[in-house]
Each structure stands twice: as C-alpha cells, then as structure tokens.
Amino acid sequence: MLANIGWPGLLIILIIVVFLFGGRRIAEVAKGLGTGLKNFKQAVKAEDDEEDIQADVAQKSKAEKPKKIAKADAPSTKITSKATVKRKTKKTADKA
C-alpha cells in the first residue's frame, strides 16, 4: 500500500503536517530526534570502547608471566636479637 504513494503523495502529506503542527513544532521534534540519535550513538560507542578495553586487559594479563622474586628482593626473615640492634646503633653513634 505504501509503495503506491509516490512523490506527489508524500508532498501533499508533508504540506498537511506543516499546516497541522506548524514549522516551529516540526523543528522542535526534529531537534529532539537528532539529540536522541546523538546520545544513542555515544552510548553505543562508549560500550564498544569499554569492551575493547576489557579485551585488551584480558590479553595483557594472559601474556604476562609471574615475576620470580630474587633473594635480594625477598623480604628478610632474619631474626635479630636486642644485643645486635644495640651494637649497630652504638656503631652509628660513634661514627657521628
């Protein structure tokens, strides 16, 4: 049914819509549609960017191997006595 309208029919419908709603109202509706489409595109782009970031993080975490800790980097487990601590502080005090 819509295939039979053609250009002259669409022009008549457009003129009727302008008379019913006015030019200002049609401009407001078009502006609202444009804003809605812009917001929709931004939301879709943000979602795609977020998915890309998550995929990159997943790939990097799979690619990284656990780092081995050298003995020099490892925390000290040596237990020092109070006497040892006193000797060290006494030596540093004598040097000053």
- The predicted-structure confidence for 37-85, as pLDDT tens digits, reads as follows 999 999 888 888 887 787 777 777 766 655 665 555 555 556 656 666 6
Q: Is the pLDDT of residue 33 over 80?
A: yes
**Residue whose pair of structure tokens reads 């060290």 in the numeric block:** 88
User: What CA dihedral angle connects 83, 89, 92 and 96, to 10 degrees?
Assistant: -130
Query: From the CB of residue 21, how many other CB atoms can be counted at a distance below 10 Å?
Result: 13
What local confidence, expressed as pLDDT, does residue 35 receive?
95
Spatial distance between the Cα atoms of 4 and 1, rounded to a whole number of angstroms: 6
pLDDT at position 75 is 57
Given a cut of 70, whether residue 94 has pLDDT beyond it is: no
Residues 6+ apart with CB under 8 A from 21: 29
Tell me the residue type at 1. M
Whether this prediction's pTM lies above 0.95 is answered by: no
Distance CA 83, CA 76 (A): 18
What local confidence, expressed as pLDDT, does residue 31 receive? 93
Higher confidence at residue 75 or residue 33? 33
DSSP assignment letter at 74? S
What band does 34 get if pLDDT is binned at 50, 70 and 90?
A: very high
Domain boundaries, the chain: 14-61
